[in-house]
Structure formats: C-alpha cells, structure tokens
C-alpha cells in the first residue's frame, strides 16, 4: 500500500508560516548572531558559519516540506 501525499491547499498558510520562520531565523542569525560571535578578521570562519547556518536552514526547510506536504522537495 502506497502512502498518499497530502494536499497543500488546506495547510498552505501553515507551510508558508513555517517557511517564513525558518528563513527569517536564518537571516537574523547571519545579521545579528554571527557578527557578535565571530572575529571581524576571520573570513574563513565567517564563510564556514554562514555555510553551516544555510545548510541547517535548508535541512529544516526540507523536513518542514516533508512534514506538511508528505513528500520531500523534488530533486533537480
């Protein structure tokens, strides 16, 4: 028996709210938190922390999409 995917029409506002919270937190982390934690002359560290924060936000976005829609985002 295959699992039926859920329709996003009913949960669309919830999905968009989750998307907004995830990426707003990502932006706030990059703008407010990273400059206070990282030395200003450490370019490699800034790049690593930015890449790590972006990876975590993308993973959360994928998990949120899987939870609300019932399937992961299509691979491109």
Query: Model confidence over 5-42: pLDDT tens digits?
Result: 655 566 778 788 888 999 999 999 999 988 888 888 88
Q: How many domains does the chain have?
A: 1
Domain that holds residue 21: 8-69
In a domain? residue 75 = no
Q: Considering the domain boundaries, does residue 59 fall inside one?
A: yes
In a domain, 2, yes or no: no
Q: Is residue 33 part of a domain?
A: yes
Q: How many CB atoms lie within 10 A of CB 68?
A: 19
In a domain, 35, yes or no: yes
Note whether residue 3 is domain-resident. Answer: no
Residue 76: inside a domain, yes or no?
A: no
| CA–CA separation, 53 and 31 (whole Å) | 12
Residue 4: what pLDDT?
63
pLDDT at residue 72, as a whole number? 61
Other Cβ atoms less than 10 A from the Cβ of 18: the count is 18
């Amino acid at each position: 028996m295959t699992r039926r995917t859920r329709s996003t029409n009913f949960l669309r506002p919830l999905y968009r709210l989750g998307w907004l919270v995830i990426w707003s937190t990502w932006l706030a982390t990059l703008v407010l938190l990273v400059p206070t934690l990282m030395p200003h002359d450490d370019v490699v560290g800034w790049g690593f922390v930015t890449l790590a924060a972006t990876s975590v936000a993308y993973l959360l976005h994928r998990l949120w999409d899987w939870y609300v829609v019932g399937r992961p985002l299509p691979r491109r």
